[in-house]
Chains A and B, each alone.
Chain A
Amino acid sequence: MARAVTTRRKLVFTILGWSIGFLIFFPILWTFLTSFKTEGAAVATPPQFLLFDWTLENYHEVQSRSDYGKHVMNSIVISVGSTLLGLVLAIPAAWAMAFSPTKRTKDILMWMLSTKMMPSVGVLVPLYLIFRDWGLLDSRLGLVAVLTMINLPIIVWMLYTYFKEIPGEILEAARMDGASLMKEIVYVLTPMAIPGIASTMLLNIILAWNEAFWTLNLTAANAAPLTAFIASYSSPEGLFWAKLSAASTMAIAPILIMGWFSQKQLVRGLTLGAVK
């Protein structure tokens, strides 16, 4: 017998849910508010919540000092490019592991994940030298390649989990009907795994968007994405919180909006298989 959900219980959970949500969202809200303060107000003690002199000065300053459009474009190309390239490589890989496993499949999956366990800085110098010799330093192409490699294990793992949910019999039936391997993957498997692929894609775009080690270390002026844009507003000598907050707000705005519109897809994908 299902337990009756009383109105009071509902109210308590609603308040609790909203409170936790607000708590998690608070740092972003605070960044947003700080971006409208003067540098003095940004560091004032006690902190000022809403009652301060709102100003657009920081946005103006950030606009005049940096080429925001260029950084956004670089971020889009790098994050979308690396995710798409990653999917092209990972879908066949995940198919093989899910539907045609060998006794080494688990080991290979583990091995792929183990590459994520090494601190990035450990391979900085070798990779930097390769990039230098191939002329890939400060190029979008180079960053797309690096971020694809970095996120590939996660893409393969996520897709593998989703593909495992799809009954192999359906693919068998397609094969019985004479579908080639390519057709099986493109016309049968992929459409069925769309929610999973979509959430993998969204998550990886977010990961690539926020990646701040390689994007800072392998770029200079041309391919620098929004991470470099933010990093340029921190200062060792002089107050910078308000300007940094303005830059951060501008940097997270596109991805936040994308996340907002695709949250249904994202949540469905992430919880797929969790509840049956």
Chain B
Amino acid sequence: MFKRTLLLSAVSVVAMVSFAHAETLTIATVNNGDMVRMQKLADDFTKKNPDIKLEWVTLEENILRQRVTTDIATKGGQYDVMTIGTYEVPIWAKQGWLLPLDGLGADYDKADLLPSISDAVSVDGKLYASPFYGESAMVMYRKDLAEKAGVTIPEKPTWDQIADAARKMTDKSTETYGICLRGKAGWGENMALLTATANSFGARWFDEKWAPQFDQPEWKKALTFYVDLMKEAGPAGASSNGFNENLALFQTGKCGIWIDATVAASFVTNPKESKVADKVGYALFPTGGVENYGNWLWAWNLGIPAGTKKAEAAQKFVSWATDKAYTELVASKEGWANVPPGTRTSLYANPEYQKAAPFAKITLDAMTAANTSKPTVKPVPYTGGQFVAIPEFQGIGTAVGQQFSAALAGSVTVDQALQSAQALTTREMTKGGYIK
């Protein structure tokens, strides 16, 4: 009896010790191709770190944003690593919600990060999230349709050149539309494109005193241009099209030009999914009279919430998923074309990547051209690019986006949409204490 008790106690002590050693990291992430791939390859991490277990929570982007915001704001401690966008990083870091990443290890080459991306995820020179993949925006067009229509799209096109080409490429009898642009309302949907477009026309969201600028001629010019062009050369029902809808249209050969996130290039050139894989040409985001390429810059990053009790293990994971060795791991298992793009300078210098990804150079040019600390030519009190990095922007951006989507659908005029946008933004900014 005594022996059995002793044995049982010994077993339970051993069990408790081993239990105490195994740490479980809970990782919240979005369901994008690169993230799913990371999940599949995570065995490599757990093999190297047998004392760390990984639990994945994959959610749709908006649900994820709501979910992790609730958790981090209440210090709920549900997650040890979170996938967050460049919009959240500066706001959350200033709130003290994120841990600075200072223990990423010797192999993590910080100097190799693309400067524009590194800036976007740093506050006061400290890295608060590690970029996993990054993107800017660019023009993707059908070379065959351009040739047929007798137009050429230069590497640095103007909006007028794009409009001219789009009109000539349109052939409504075969349901071929010259241009596909986002129209679905949302701060991360149509407002990403329209803010970048407005930047390229010299417009700004706010002046130095946070007064909204929708009553200025630049916004009117940008929005009128967009609505007119889409009416003439865009697909029917464009006001409900977002990234995925346009992706589907472009892949099935219905669009001449599509201007959207650079990450789209890897989808439209994938012969398994795309009918036009070998016919795609690229150009920088168009300009509208000022030296500005829209300043679209986005990255999905891995951050560590301040509420975690497993900061050390979490940093180990973040380092594994975002260092150069991970890139090589993906390349060896899935090929260079599937490597997460847009974060490291070394990737774009790699000849094998250049060969596998014909869009590498233009992606790098687009990302280098983006400057989040100076989104538009006129002086502004905010940072950002295709968004304004203030907490109120999610709400305001979506409300303005609804007005602009309505203008595209034709239920309000451009002037009415701009007036409503001006009024609602003024109201919200006054409420937020920006306008005294």
CB atoms of A232 and B78 under 8 A apart: no
CB atoms of A236 and B78 under 8 A apart: no
CB atoms of B78 and A137 under 8 A apart: yes
User: Quick one: CB contact mask for B213-251 with A, threshold 8 Å, 1 for yes?
Assistant: 000000000000000000000000000000110011001
**B56-64, B99-107, B155-163, B340-348 - the one binding chain A:** B56-64
CB atoms of B261 and A129 under 8 A apart: no
Of the four ranges (under 10, 10 to 19, 20 to 34, 35 or more), the interface on chain A belongs to 20 to 34
CB atoms of A231 and B63 under 8 A apart: yes
CB atoms of B66 and A217 under 8 A apart: yes
Shortest CB-to-CB span from B304 to chain A, Å, is 15
Q: Complex: how many Å from CA A45 to CA B248?
A: 9
Shortest CB-to-CB span from B35 to chain A, Å, is 9
CB atoms of A217 and B251 under 8 A apart: no
Shortest CB-to-CB span from B157 to chain A, Å, is 24
Q: Complex: how many Å from CA A220 to CA B63?
A: 12
For A237, the chain B residues whose CB sits under 8 A away are 32-33, 243-244, 261, 263-264
Say whether, besides A236-B188, A237-B263, A238-B244, A221 and B63 are in contact (CB < 8 Å): no
Say whether, besides A43-B248, A216-B63, A221-B57, A235 and B70 are in contact (CB < 8 Å): no
Closest B residue, CB atoms, query A243: B31
Q: Which of B32, B57, B273 contacts A40 (CB 8 A)?
A: B273
CB atoms of B70 and A124 under 8 A apart: yes
8 Å CB contacts to B: which residues of A19-78? 39-40, 43-45, 65
Closest B residue, CB atoms, query A212: B63
Closest A residue, CB atoms, query B68: A220
8 Å CB contacts to B: which residues of A94-142? 124-125, 128-129, 132, 137-138
8 Å CB contacts to B: which residues of A172-226? 216-217, 220-222, 224
For B243, the chain A residues whose CB sits under 8 A away are 236-237
Q: Which of B28, B56, B59, B267 contacts A238 (CB 8 A)?
A: B267
CB atoms of B26 and A234 under 8 A apart: no
CB atoms of A224 and B77 under 8 A apart: no
For B39, the chain A residues whose CB sits under 8 A away are 65
Shortest CB-to-CB span from B42 to chain A, Å, is 12
B39, B57, B73, B254: residue with the most chain A Cβ atoms closer than 10 Å: B57
8 Å CB contacts to A: which residues of B4-56? 26, 28, 30-33, 36, 39, 55-56
For A216, the chain B residues whose CB sits under 8 A away are 59, 63, 67
For A222, the chain B residues whose CB sits under 8 A away are 55
Closest A residue, CB atoms, query B76: A132
CB atoms of A232 and B70 under 8 A apart: no
For A39, the chain B residues whose CB sits under 8 A away are 273
CB atoms of B78 and A224 under 8 A apart: no
CB atoms of A238 and B33 under 8 A apart: yes
Q: Complex: how many Å from CA A132 to CA B70?
A: 11
Q: Which of B32, B59, B77 contacts A231 (CB 8 A)?
A: B59
CB atoms of B70 and A217 under 8 A apart: yes
For A233, the chain B residues whose CB sits under 8 A away are 31
Q: Complex: how many Å from CA A200 to CA B97?
A: 44
Shortest CB-to-CB span from A234 to chain B, Å, is 4
Beyond A128-B71, A132-B77, 6 additional contacts (C-beta under 8 Å) are A65-B36, A124-B70, A128-B70, A221-B56, A236-B60, A236-B61
Task: Give me the interface of A with B, judged by CB distance under 8 Å.
Answer: 39-40, 43-45, 65, 124-125, 128-129, 132, 137-138, 216-217, 220-222, 224, 228, 231-240
Q: Which 4 A-B pairs have the closest CB atoms?
A: A232-B58, A43-B248, A221-B55, A234-B60
* 18 sampled A-B residue pairs with Cβ under 8 A: A65-B39, A128-B74, A132-B74, A132-B75, A216-B67, A217-B70, A220-B78, A231-B59, A231-B63, A232-B57, A235-B31, A235-B33, A235-B60, A236-B61, A236-B188, A237-B264, A239-B247, A239-B267
